[in-house]
Structure 1
Amino acid sequence: MSHSTRRNFLKQTTGLLGVAFVGTAFNFPKTNTPLLSFSTLGCPDWDFQRIVNFAAESNYNGIEVRGIKRELNLPNCPEFSSPKKILASRKVVEDKGLKFVGLGSSAALHYGDLTKRNKNLSEAKRFIDLAQQLNCPYVRVFPNDFPKEVDKKQVIDLISKGLLELGDYAKGSKVKVLLESHGAVVHSDDLSVIMKAAKHPNVGMIWDIVNMWAKTKESPVKVYEVLKDYIDHTHIKDMKIVDGKIKYTFLGKGETPVFEAINILAKSGYKGYYSFEWEKMWHPELEAPEIALLDYSKVMNDHFKNI
């Protein structure tokens, strides 16, 4: 979609949305309790209404959409397939006192091949357009790899330039493109270089605490000190190593320093969401979402009473 076409499209659709949502904004609610959300990765077989109802009934404040009914390309989901349906879906969420917190794209920015690169950038741009219409502040993208056959500095440059291109695309909206610490790009020093080179008002970062610690064993104190200026959102989970393999656990039942990271964020004035990423989509053996998501809400609220 060209910039001129996109501007006209957004002008029409956001105008329609604005009629029903005058006065709403991207600002998060002020609260002394943690702002909780969960990724729909944790409930891959739930329909949209069930996701919203569960969040509202289980002390969540928002929803991070990473697929609905196993459809990961969100613009293809029936709930987001037209301006009218986007309006209806947004109303369903806001009528429950919830927010769309983030949209999880699959876009990866490490590719040098132009065909692959343009495909991934185009996907991210479609998600940015959808986020704007849903009053959703964030779109997630991946770094995502350091291919052995390519110089590392060159890959870092590709990732940074991709973020800048997407930041420019989002310019004029209230949407930020967030790079998740993910894949091979999980060392704080590498992420710091990328984020410094991609400095832009519409670019930020998701700190996936366990993604980083599982591979680097860097302390949350160090990670936060290096990356604190870029963190807008977090992914929270826990795990332990069993027979040499990662086994995801309920929060507080694993061996990661996740609560150390949470405490650093809370005591440093972090105002964003603590978003539970229960990877049921990729690991079907995990506990059912209605059990895991409810446990997370309870554990987090109990923990914050002691901070």
Structure 2
Amino acid sequence: MRLAFSTLGAPDASVTQLIQWARRFGARGLELRVDDGGITPLGLTAAGRVELRQALEDAGVEVLALASYVRICAPGPDHEVLAGLRANLQLAADLGARGMRVFPGAGVDPLATADMSGFDAAGARRLSAVLGEAGHLGVRLLLETHDSHPRGADVARILALVDDPGAVLAAVAADAEPGPSGVGIIWDVLHPWRYGETPRETARHVAPYYAYSQFKDGQIGSAPTDVTLRLPGQGSVPLREIAQLATALSAAQGNADPWFSLEWEKAWHPELPELPVALAALQQVLAAD
């Protein structure tokens, strides 16, 4: 297992501090959040991109993904979404990122919307439009289980519609370990669980596209939106079962050393403990087996 963590958990941390934590916890990767107030703004200068990439490479820390906030199913004209995809793809490529995270972002309640086909089609159309460019840049497009499409079944519907020419994989960097598609799924483990999809169901749906898992934990209340975040191992999300399933998904792709990333939402919930506390808790959960 290769450990990574998202910079979402330390919004004010410097590159030096992030590298120190990575060394302390044996983390080999980072998810770099696109954040105008952080180390990876979309407008980062060319020199800044070179400097950040070099610092991480010198420290032996990989950029697992650029965590963009592009919403591929958002209402509105395609050209606005495509512009965001292309700008973020270039940043991801400049930083040497393996992949680029996107959200579904249809802006609707998945439990109250009977027909999601229009949103699914929009997301697939927009991904298809930039898939070739992403392949040439060596960046895999990664759709996260999130917001309007929280379950594995939801995101898999979108990716099943993506026009994925076979030539794309040949353009992906040789060490990027792509799955069987030029697009992939990030399994954010909280969201399928809180919307009633069991880990085994999620694993079955994401299997053809699986990239890696984001780990977090929480207590779920009377509704899927009623979530209280907890340290890994202190909530109701079956993290150990998910880790086993995710390991099997990676092994089925020929990868015996899967990536597990901590997404600690300190940026949105400043009352949470500091990132190192959460990293230690996740390590304890993953080491239990």
Normalising by structure 1, report the TM-score. Answer: 0.78
- Are 1:267 and 2:248 matched, yes or no? yes
Q: Secondary structure at the match of 1:102?
A: strand
Gaps of 5+ in 2: 165-180
Could you say which residue in structure 1 is the equivalent of 2:274? 288
Work out which of the residue numbers 66, 73, 76 in structure 2 matches 1:113.
76
Gaps of 5+ in 1: 1-33
**Could you tell me whether the CA contact under 8 Å between 2:103 and 2:144 is conserved in 1?**
yes
**Could you tell me whether the CA contact under 8 Å between 1:143 and 1:180 is conserved in 2?**
yes
| CA distance in structure 2 between the partners assigned to 1:149 and 1:253 by the alignment | 32
Matches within 5 A, 1:243-282: 245-268=226-249, 269=251, 271-282=257-268
Could you say which residue in structure 2 is the equivalent of 1:58? 25
| CA distance in structure 2 between the partners assigned to 1:229 and 1:118 by the alignment | 29
- Are 1:221 and 2:200 matched, yes or no? yes
Matches within 5 A, 1:46-85: 46-67=13-34, 70-71=37-38, 74-76=41-43, 80-82=44-46, 84-85=47-48
Letter in 2 for 1:41: L
| CA distance in structure 2 between the partners assigned to 1:218 and 1:87 by the alignment | 42
Tell me whether 98-107 or 149-158 shows the greater mean CA deviation. 149-158
Q: Deviations over 1:79-128 (max 9, x none)?
A: x411x3222211211111111111011100112321xx433322221121
Could you say which residue in structure 2 is the equivalent of 1:143? 104
**Could you tell me whether the CA contact under 8 Å between 2:186 and 2:212 is conserved in 1?**
yes
Tell me whether 240-249 or 205-214 shows the greater mean CA deviation. 240-249
Task: State percent identity of aligned pairs.
Answer: 25
| CA distance in structure 1 between the partners assigned to 2:116 and 2:230 by the alignment | 33
Q: Deviations over 1:36-66 (max 9, x none)?
A: 1001100011122211221122210111011
| CA distance in structure 1 between the partners assigned to 2:280 and 2:143 by the alignment | 27
Matches within 5 A, 1:167-206: 167-200=131-164, 201-206=181-186
Could you say which residue in structure 1 is the equivalent of 2:86? 125
Letter in 2 for 1:36: L
Q: Which runs of at least 4 in structure 1 moved beyond 4 Å after TM superposition?
A: 148-151
Displacement of 1:194: 1.1
| CA distance in structure 1 between the partners assigned to 2:70 and 2:40 by the alignment | 10
Tell me whether 240-249 or 34-43 shows the greater mean CA deviation. 240-249
Larger Rg: 1
RMSD across aligned positions (CA): 2.3
Displacement of 1:197: 0.8
Could you say which residue in structure 2 is the equivalent of 1:207? 187
Tell me whether 50-59 or 234-243 shows the greater mean CA deviation. 234-243
Letter in 2 for 1:233: Y
**Could you tell me whether the CA contact under 8 Å between 2:192 and 2:198 is conserved in 1?**
no
Could you say which residue in structure 1 is the equivalent of 2:126? 162
